[in-house]
Structure 1
Amino acid sequence: MSRITVAAIIEDLDLRSALQSVASEAVDVELLGMGSAPSEISGVLEDPELDVVLVHTELQRSRYASVIAELQRQRPFVGILVIAPESDAGLLSSVMELGARGVLLQPLSLDEFQARVDSVGQWSQGLRQFSGGTADERGRIVAVAGARGGAGASTIATLLAHECARTGTVCLVDADLRKGSITYLTDVKPRRNLTDLAAVATELTGRNVREVAVDAEAGFSVIAAPTEVEQADDVTSSAMTQVLNQLRFQYDLTVIDVGSTLESAQAAALEMADHVVLVVNPDIASVNSARHAMNGWERLSVRPANAVTVVLNRADRKREVQSSLLQRVLDRPVAVTLPDAFAQLEPAHNTGNLTQTKGGSIRAGVVDLARELELVAAPAATSRRQGGRRRDRGQAAVETPMAVALFLLATVLGIQVLFAATCVVFTRHAATEAAREYAVSGSASAAQAKAADALPGWAGASPSVRTGAGKVTVSTSIPTVLSIGTDFRMRVSQSASYTPEARP
């Protein structure tokens, strides 16, 4: 038999001394450490080879029941023995309900200590060996709760399990014990249900889980809720804890539909879950139910409000209740908003298999939820798009100066064309005035002076005037936007006819 390692949480110094003495005489038993609270021996409790933890019922700093529950949640494969000054049927029943493996009575005797520790230590080692996993390989648990009945928790849990089944092994558990609907939504017909696992919770193995879980066509397993309403009482908090601990080592992800009620089994599931999703509808009654649920979870130390992911289902812009109002009331951000688009679900919902739902805004919202909970990674296409954006940014950095230069050049050319067209108009007017003056006076210098008066000052250098038979031609330079020298200035010429007037 391999050596069994033991840790103890005891405040009584006399009991500590007695335990140390007994452990030193026991065969193949090693006492790794003792403390008054789990925090004092946290390093020992995290040892992957730890087999048994002893918890004294006479703790003053904390309730021994809370210590056992915490150990069960953190180290499900470690056996727990309770040390008590005296035993009765009520104590034994209560500690077994909490998940402990038995009771050691004070004063401690070597024979009883050896027998109990050997039994529980072998159970712990065998369970670890059978499961073949360590704490680092444990799967995650996501609990989906509805603010009230009909909020859509079962629908979201089913679609979430289907989405995550593409990347790993997933089990969908219907923990809405009195009105479960997962079997209908996934189109499975199980012969056993959660009650069968609860019946063997203290000796649960992976084989028991495989006998109860049913594989859906969509690629995930389903554990159904009790078929008879009175069977719900058989699923206790301890049984739920044992079942979920086993599922952690059987599946990469366990999605639990806990419904909208809070019984001991649902409370255990909410406490053990890595993520809790609360589904709320956009109406005041649902918002108030969500607030009461979160306050109740916090008062009962089931789940702190800041560890709840809020999902707004059936959202619509026409509704008075929007995500901003929900955020103010619950004092929690709305992680994901799903639209009011039941038409996308209706065909699959009516046939009893939600996994056949086609792509759409609801499917996209569930994918966003899976990413928010870090259950699935962002697709590779996202990285390619990001790489494309980086390339686009580099290309834009090169092309922007070129675009600015081309824009400035086009602007300069446009202004230059405007100057040229304006000069043509004024030069034509100057030619007309010069022709009229030359027709009257017959003086070329007078005609040139008249042309100069007709041209505005910005229209280039002094105009030149040429006279011929019945025509006067005026030529002037076109002003340029950029000064490039007079040798490169363009000129424009306009002519006007005249008839010499008779002179006295």
Structure 2
Amino acid sequence: MPTRILPAVGDVDAVRSLTGLLGQLPDAEPLPPVHDSTQLVDALARLSAESVDELPEVVVVHERIGPVPALELIREVALRFPAVGVILVTSDASPGLFSAAMDSGARGLVALPLSYEELASRVQHVAQWSTGVRRHLGHGADVFTGAGGTVVTVSGAKGGVGTTVTAVHLALAAQASGRNTALVDLDLQTGDVASYLDVQFRRSVADLAAITDITPRVLADAVFRHDTGLALLLAPAEGERGEDVTDRAARHLVGALRSRYEVVVIDCGAQLGGAGATAVELADRALLVTTPDVVAVRGAKRAVRLWDRLQIRKAEETTVVVNRHSRHAEIQPPLIQRITGTGIAATVVPAAYKELQSAVDAGRLHELDHKSAVKQALWTLAGELGLVKAAEGHRAEGHRAGGRGRADKGTGGALRRRREGGG
């Protein structure tokens, strides 16, 4: 079967040179070239709408394509059409550019001036990769037939109360029980799930912000598959990119995640932004983590009142989780429940930071000892929330999730925008 190759070249002379060489390649079927980034994305979208089999195996992007810069264009193509292999043609064959191109999702780089041997070799390898990806994905990979998954948000009454540790271990417990689980870091400016789990990543939630048709293929290409089996969708390494994730983008993202995973745990951090507010609004369960001290409990009360004023979520639909609990503390869970007006998790997490310190410092939170009282409590909490399969026999077995989901998940966002002057 011939390899279909779509050139994306803005320069007239470069078009002539590239198409001439492509036409000489064995078993190659060069398609009519496109001359800018918009034409390329539109052409691929039109072909993929018919069938993934209609997409070319290889796209060759010239460095002088425009108006979108070549690396940004490659990133978009790799995210939206993950079965298409992209080759960058460039006059800069430095290791720095090669690394940047690979990080953007390119499958190869060819240096200018063009060489037949180099171009032929690179096209052959990328075409083989594309064929393998399509074979792995199979037909109908865009269809998810399971019921909608459970979405749980984890927010903090203030910074430092253990929000991320809670989110990570809830997700680990769900995944370990056999449920397909995603952990999302929606603490967009300061999120650090990646550090807790010792991962290096290329793509983040910000890369999905501009995509409204987030198919399972697009989503799968954006997540990082951790050794534990968790699918991680991480906060951007550059905090300013978090501004790209609007409440509308978050709504699309939560919908896509819910349709793909049985359990979705979202770390929203302690600062309320548009994306986090949307996630809390749409969640089946919204957790608010606090410690049993005056400052944190006041923060929890403020957060609950803010969510209520903005029509994001009612107090009785929120569950407070008490972290660093001690029987000797003056502030106990029943008092916190009365102050906040929320539900309260029956499972409390003990004050045992020394158990966590070495795992946190090493970035290996997932390797926390099974005997850890903190881990046992958080996994029990996962059972209380209904996130683990009862057959697994965790300590959490038999607990039932309290509370209820949102009755009308679209109204809050509209009211919120009106209150903020957004119409």
Fold-level match, TM-score > 0.5? yes
| Amino acid in structure 2 at the alignment position of 1:356 | E
- Contact 2:216–2:256 (CA<8 Å) still a contact in 1? yes
- Contact 2:151–2:283 (CA<8 Å) still a contact in 1? yes
Tell me whether 1:158 sits opposite 2:182 in the alignment. no
Counterpart of 1:265 in 2: which secondary structure? helix
Shift in Å, 1:373: 1.1
Shift in Å, 1:139: 1.1
Instruction: Evaluate the alpha carbon distance shift between residue 324 and residue 331 of structure 1 in structure 2; reply closer, same or farther with a 3 A threshold.
Output: same
Counterpart of 1:268 in 2: which secondary structure? helix
- Contact 1:323–1:334 (CA<8 Å) still a contact in 2? yes
Shift in Å, 1:227: 1.4
Instruction: Evaluate the alpha carbon distance shift between residue 318 and residue 254 of structure 1 in structure 2; reply closer, same or farther with a 3 A threshold.
Output: same
Select 2:307's aligned residue among 297, 315, 319. 297
Tell me whether 1:278 sits opposite 2:291 in the alignment. no
Deviations 1:142-178 (Å, cap 9, x if unpaired)? 1000000111010010011111102211111000001
Which residue does 2:151 correspond to in 1?
A: 141
Select 2:332's aligned residue among 322, 325, 333. 322
| Distance (Å, rounded) in 1 between the aligned partners of 2:193 and 2:270 | 14
Instruction: Evaluate the alpha carbon distance shift between residue 382 and residue 245 of structure 1 in structure 2; reply closer, same or farther with a 3 A threshold.
Output: closer
Shift in Å, 1:138: 1.2
Shift in Å, 1:377: 3.6
Tell me whether 1:198 sits opposite 2:198 in the alignment. no
| Distance (Å, rounded) in 1 between the aligned partners of 2:164 and 2:394 | 30
Q: How does 1:6-21 map to 2 (within 5 A)?
A: none
| Amino acid in structure 2 at the alignment position of 1:362 | V
| Distance (Å, rounded) in 1 between the aligned partners of 2:325 and 2:205 | 33
Count, aligned residues? 255
Tell me whether 1:376 sits opposite 2:385 in the alignment. no
| Distance (Å, rounded) in 2 between the aligned partners of 1:186 and 1:382 | 22
Deviations 1:375-413 (Å, cap 9, x if unpaired)? 124457699x99xxxxxxxxxxxxxxxxxxxxxxxxxxx
Shift in Å, 1:235: 0.3
Q: How does 1:63-462 map to 2 (within 5 A)?
A: 131-133=142-144, 137-166=147-176, 167-200=178-211, 202-335=212-345, 336-359=347-370, 360-379=372-391
| Distance (Å, rounded) in 2 between the aligned partners of 1:231 and 1:132 | 30
Counterpart of 1:246 in 2: which secondary structure? helix
| Distance (Å, rounded) in 1 between the aligned partners of 2:313 and 2:175 | 26
| Distance (Å, rounded) in 1 between the aligned partners of 2:285 and 2:197 | 22
| Residue ranges of structure 2 left out of the alignment (5+ in a row) | 1-139, 399-423
Instruction: Evaluate the alpha carbon distance shift between residue 306 and residue 333 of structure 1 in structure 2; reply closer, same or farther with a 3 A threshold.
Output: closer
| Amino acid in structure 2 at the alignment position of 1:327 | Q
Counterpart of 2:201 in 1: which secondary structure? coil
- Contact 1:131–1:249 (CA<8 Å) still a contact in 2? no
- Contact 1:187–1:216 (CA<8 Å) still a contact in 2? no
| Amino acid in structure 1 at the alignment position of 2:266 | I
Counterpart of 1:160 in 2: which secondary structure? helix
Alpha-carbon RMSD: 2.1
Identity of aligned residues (%): 35
Shift in Å, 1:362: 1.1
| Distance (Å, rounded) in 2 between the aligned partners of 1:188 and 1:230 | 21
Counterpart of 1:141 in 2: which secondary structure? strand
Shift in Å, 1:333: 4.2
- TM-score by length of structure 1 reads 0.48
- Quick check: which has more Rg, 1 or 2? 1
Deviations 1:409-467 (Å, cap 9, x if unpaired)? xxxxxxxxxxxxxxxxxxxxxxxxxxxxxxxxxxxxxxxxxxxxxxxxxxxxxxxxxxx
Deviations 1:453-487 (Å, cap 9, x if unpaired)? xxxxxxxxxxxxxxxxxxxxxxxxxxxxxxxxxxx
Shift in Å, 1:132: 2.4
Shift in Å, 1:306: 1.1
Instruction: Evaluate the alpha carbon distance shift between residue 300 and residue 319 of structure 1 in structure 2; reply closer, same or farther with a 3 A threshold.
Output: same
Instruction: Evaluate the alpha carbon distance shift between residue 313 and residue 229 of structure 1 in structure 2; reply closer, same or farther with a 3 A threshold.
Output: same
| Distance (Å, rounded) in 1 between the aligned partners of 2:245 and 2:393 | 44
- Contact 2:323–2:348 (CA<8 Å) still a contact in 1? yes
More relative contact order in 1 or in 2 (CA 8 Å, sep 6+)?
Answer: 2
| Amino acid in structure 1 at the alignment position of 2:224 | V
| Distance (Å, rounded) in 1 between the aligned partners of 2:384 and 2:216 | 30
| Amino acid in structure 1 at the alignment position of 2:174 | C
- Contact 1:311–1:337 (CA<8 Å) still a contact in 2? yes
| Amino acid in structure 2 at the alignment position of 1:344 | E
- Contact 1:171–1:221 (CA<8 Å) still a contact in 2? yes
Counterpart of 1:340 in 2: which secondary structure? coil
Shift in Å, 1:361: 1.6
Deviations 1:17-52 (Å, cap 9, x if unpaired)? xxxxxxxxxxxxxxxxxxxxxxxxxxxxxxxxxxxx
Counterpart of 1:293 in 2: which secondary structure? helix
| Amino acid in structure 1 at the alignment position of 2:182 | C
Shift in Å, 1:284: 0.6
Shift in Å, 1:298: 1.1
Counterpart of 1:262 in 2: which secondary structure? coil
Counterpart of 2:164 in 1: which secondary structure? helix
Counterpart of 1:345 in 2: which secondary structure? helix
Shift in Å, 1:370: 1.1
- Contact 2:155–2:269 (CA<8 Å) still a contact in 1? yes
Shift in Å, 1:232: 1.4
| Distance (Å, rounded) in 2 between the aligned partners of 1:295 and 1:332 | 10
| Amino acid in structure 2 at the alignment position of 1:331 | G
Counterpart of 1:151 in 2: which secondary structure? coil
| Distance (Å, rounded) in 1 between the aligned partners of 2:394 and 2:376 | 15
Counterpart of 1:310 in 2: which secondary structure? strand
Which residue does 2:22 correspond to in 1?
A: none
Which residue does 1:26 correspond to in 2?
A: none
Moved segments of 4+, more than 4 Å? 379-383
- TM-score by length of structure 2 reads 0.58
